[in-house]
Amino acid sequence: MIDRIASLGRLGLDIVTSFGRSGQFLAGVLAGVPRPVTGFPLLIKQLYSVGVLSLAIVVVSGLFIGMVLGLQGYTILSDYGSEAAIGQMIALTLVRELGPVVTALLFAGRAGSALTAEIGLMKATEQLSSMEMMGVDPLRRVIAPRLWAGFIAMPVLAVIFSVVGIWGGMLVGVDWLGVFEGSFWGNMQSSVDFVDDVMNGVIKSVVFGFVCAWIAVYQGYDCVPTSAGISSATTKTVVYSSLAVLGLDFVLTAVMFGDF
């Protein structure tokens, strides 16, 4: 009985410690902003691997999600004879919710897991500690560029996702199902507000990008330096990122779009 209570206490302590460590880690990384001149090539390289290489999966998923939204929306809306509202439905769904959220989930799977595995392997092969021996701060040299790259790439990817999705919805709705193009765009433009909808979506994706990148680099940096440790850290990255994104999405939606 006492053992049970003790293990529960240990679990609680572990959770609190890991939160504390990740916060400390974040403070350390943010203090080590990449230096404008020497850090810039590192940041570009990470932006390439985190952002540009995620582009393919983001574009393809965006296209298909937009097309599915168009098909489903048409089926439902045509029951009420208001197919013309399909543009409004697709645009609001994508810009407010699906764009930031699905991009963040894909980002966690595609880029976050790779970041964790890369940093974890660096730790396992003691590259990080040898950097410290040489007097190079691994937080500044390895972690900071990756965190900033995730932070910058995520909103860009989310915006591209939304645009491709709307285009996919237009392909299905207008070109295939024959919704009048003027009312498709007109309904959309009269209901989507740039600040309230588009910018709030961008803010969401900035938050998600930050959280995903933070979880990914922390899990890599904090992993047990064995092959089993790296694999469990990679799993944790994807699971924690997805949960954090979905939970935060609810909070942000309640704050941004809830009427209270």
Partner 1 sequence: MAQRTTEIIVGLFMIAGLAALLVLALQVSGLSPSSAESTYTVYADFNDTGGLTPRGRVSMAGVTVGTIESIALNKETFQARVTMSIRSDVDNIPADSSAVIRTSGLLGEQYIDISIGGDMESLQAGDSFYSTQSAMNLERLISNFASGR
Residues in contact with partner 1 by CB under 8 A are 41, 44-45, 47-48, 51-52, 55, 80-82, 84-85, 91, 95, 153, 155-157, 159-160, 162-163, 166, 185, 188-194, 197-198, 202
Minimum Å gap between C-beta 203 and partner 1 is 13
Minimum Å gap between C-beta 107 and partner 1 is 14
- In 3D space, the residue among 245, 253, 259, 257 whose CA is nearest the CA of residue 103 turns out to be 245
With respect to partner 1, which residue has the nearer C-beta, 57 or 84?
84
Minimum Å gap between C-beta 254 and partner 1 is 19
Confirm if 186 and 200 have CB atoms less than 8 A apart: no
The Cα 182–Cα 190 span in angstroms is 12
With respect to partner 1, which residue has the nearer C-beta, 116 or 162?
162
Judging by beta carbons within 10 Å of its beta carbon (0-12, 13-18, 19+), is residue 191 exposed, middle or buried? middle
With respect to partner 1, which residue has the nearer C-beta, 135 or 194?
194
With respect to partner 1, which residue has the nearer C-beta, 82 or 127?
82
Minimum Å gap between C-beta 153 and partner 1 is 8
Burial 54-67 (b: 16+ CB within 10 A, else e): beebbbebbbebbb
With respect to partner 1, which residue has the nearer C-beta, 120 or 169?
169
User: Residue 29's CB: how many other CB atoms inside 10 A?
Assistant: 23
The Cα 94–Cα 85 span in angstroms is 14
Q: Which residues contact 238 (CB under 8 A, 6 or more apart)?
A: 108, 109, 112, 113
With respect to partner 1, which residue has the nearer C-beta, 184 or 240?
184
User: Residue 7's CB: how many other CB atoms inside 10 A?
Assistant: 10
Minimum Å gap between C-beta 33 and partner 1 is 18
Confirm if 222 and 18 have CB atoms less than 8 A apart: yes
With respect to partner 1, which residue has the nearer C-beta, 120 or 150?
150
Q: How far from chain centre, in Å, is Cα 174?
A: 30
Minimum Å gap between C-beta 92 and partner 1 is 10
Minimum Å gap between C-beta 187 and partner 1 is 9
Q: Which residues contact 195 (CB under 8 A, 6 or more apart)?
A: none
